A and B are shown apart, each in its own frame.
Chain A
């Protein structure tokens, strides 16, 4: 059982969208998709995501791909990133199941690669697709927060499909 924190960050490092959810593959609670980050981790997540922006900017020049893969980890929270043509960053933070609550007890995890990199890649690609469609809406300006419930719903479907 693992939890995810997905956020879209605009070109001026402004937050556009965020979503917390857990893997739908093995529902561990009555409400599928409910995230299981502890309260302490929850409030740290935006900081973890934003602190990885420097690393995103460094690593985006090292690869021709949009998907940058895992670029950072912080106290058992791993960070994958994706950068669009327009320099909007998609960041996905997730806890490592082998190091439950490592942030709470201060033990950093060893490298488990149980997470499927390719499903995250698919998730990013589909999210990118949705983002581009949202961008094509004439009522949406670049770097505006993504408040559309339709977009939210579709992102959740993509999350359910891949993660």
Chain B
């Protein structure tokens, strides 16, 4: 969910910022938080828990504009607190946007404060940097 939004969003991002290619995934992380989130959601998530090989990190959202007035219902569906990631949209958007700039990533929620967790954490993991496609039948 959100993948197609991300595909389009990245173009707007590139057009408005005129950003150049990042040299490292750390730079990408800064770009996502300080430029991307700032531009589209006016909030700057913190970057934490960079893995030692530099291929995964967490975004900690101090405020979440998507879930501002959201409160998960208590009674109707007891499973809701275990299975629903309300802001799952972010994962798709980030994955779609990064895929368009040749970064194949996995994005998933670790914690979400509207479930009662202490903070909202999204984990990004870089699988590989994609190569340019070449036309079929050529080598």
Contact = CB atoms under 8 A, between A and B. Distances in A.
Q: Taking the complex as a whole, does A directly touch B, i.e. does some CB pair lie under 8 Å apart?
A: yes
Interface of A: 133-134, 136-140, 147-150
A147 B73 CA distance: 8
B100 interface: no
Interface residues of B, number: 8
Contacts of B69: 133-134, 136-137
Interface string B67-96: 011111111000000000000000000000
Contacts of A150: 71
Nearest to B76: A139
A16 B67 CA distance: 23
Interface of B: 68-75
B75 A139 contact: no
Contacts of A133: 69
Contact of B72 (A134, A136, A139, A147): A139
B129 to A, nearest CB: 37
The 9 A-B pairs at the shortest CB distance, nearest first, are namely A136-B69, A139-B73, A137-B69, A137-B71, A133-B69, A148-B71, A137-B70, A150-B71, A138-B70
A106 B69 CA distance: 47
A149 B70 contact: no
23 contacts: A133-B69, A134-B69, A134-B71, A136-B68, A136-B69, A137-B69, A137-B70, A137-B71, A138-B70, A139-B70, A139-B71, A139-B72, A139-B73, A140-B71, A140-B73, A147-B73, A147-B74, A147-B75, A148-B71, A148-B73, A148-B74, A149-B74, A150-B71
Contacts of B74: 147-149
A134 B73 CA distance: 11
Nearest to A132: B69
Given A137-B71, A138-B70, 19 more contacts: A133-B69, A134-B69, A134-B71, A136-B69, A137-B69, A137-B70, A139-B71, A139-B72, A139-B73, A140-B71, A140-B73, A147-B73, A147-B74, A147-B75, A148-B71, A148-B73, A148-B74, A149-B74, A150-B71
A159 B69 CA distance: 21
A150 B114 CA distance: 12
A149 B74 CA distance: 9
Nearest to B77: A139
Contacts of B73: 139-140, 147-148
A140 B74 CA distance: 11
